[in-house]
Structure 1
């Protein structure tokens, strides 16, 4: 993997896109994970204004600490970076009360809906700060999440203006983190979406590791279920199920066409 060429290409692409859009730079949500760590650093390397937001909602201490460490790392290294911490816990709690979501534990999909609400609150915050500062909201999704299994929240972390690492697999994002020499805590961070009160890693939620999923995604268009056995077959079934279920995220919003002669 030619990390330096990839880094240069993304930084140039980001800068060109922002200049053509006539904005000052980027706003990035920083979670303490490797994806947001890499994206925020690449944005900083453009020399344009970069605002990094930490937006905890009942967040685990280790996630908050990693995000804070990374923000301080960026501010020390790049004079064009500013950081803000916005605790959205009270806003989330108020929404939960308004939804009456605490009244009935038997509401179907309640916990998942609330988890996605956390992500959507963060999206709203990013766009608020982006708009008042003339900044683009920069996405942090990778290729497996965005185009493989759809492991993101629609109109949450999926609601962005541009996606600089969406053509990179997770293992490639880790390679960029090493090449960029990010803090050890970021380079070694275990992937988690941070949307649950109880700690849930991505692997626990998905049932497979990113390297396992990447193998299937790279072969998905040329192989079928009958080509696999053992653990590979298990992962294929996971990927296939999630990929098919995520088409409403991956494909453009459906539009009902109206015949011209009816107009």
Structure 2
């Protein structure tokens, strides 16, 4: 993951170098509930960013957001769990204040919500069974194969934009509520490949009988999602991101969860 690490540091240098003139002291958000609190939403099943271990919610996003909020004047009030494609509605309906779920910043989402500065960068990986004979090296090699991805993700976007209609039929695409389910279906032979973010693919490959066949470059950037009218929380979180990068917390968490 050295390439991702370099890209990550590029983005964090930008974040760390930005100065925030507005103090978060006394700021009030526009969401429901206490204006000085933050309730976060996530979608477990995306290791190592967010997952359940022994019933506990853990992962890089979990640790990072909590560390970021500690650097602000907001009080962190806990986590709510959703399916990935339900996170944006939960945010816009004021059920949560922040999305922390390895969510890629893109134009379509940016029409509905805003994002913090990026905190991680990634590409897509194509994962196959480790003991299988299928070893694709490009998207064209996926022709006429059943392919899986998680609903609402960049991986699904790549499948829909680059594969369906050209390489595979609509019926050959399998959409899942989580990547855990997608990988299980891959292991069981119901799909031949799964499109998934590189660090998540590497985590599955280290713990399950699957492997990364090749990487498809997308240049994604992950950000925390906030409401479009919630400038106060957005500013506070950006300031917190800068702080955890500067004080070494970010690198400690990256080492813990990615071995970077």
Q: TM-score, with normalisation over the residues of structure 2?
A: 0.30
Flag the structure with more relative contact order, 1 or 2, with Cα contacts below 8 A and sequence separation at least 6.
2
Q: TM-score, with normalisation over the residues of structure 1?
A: 0.30
Larger strand fraction of residues:
2
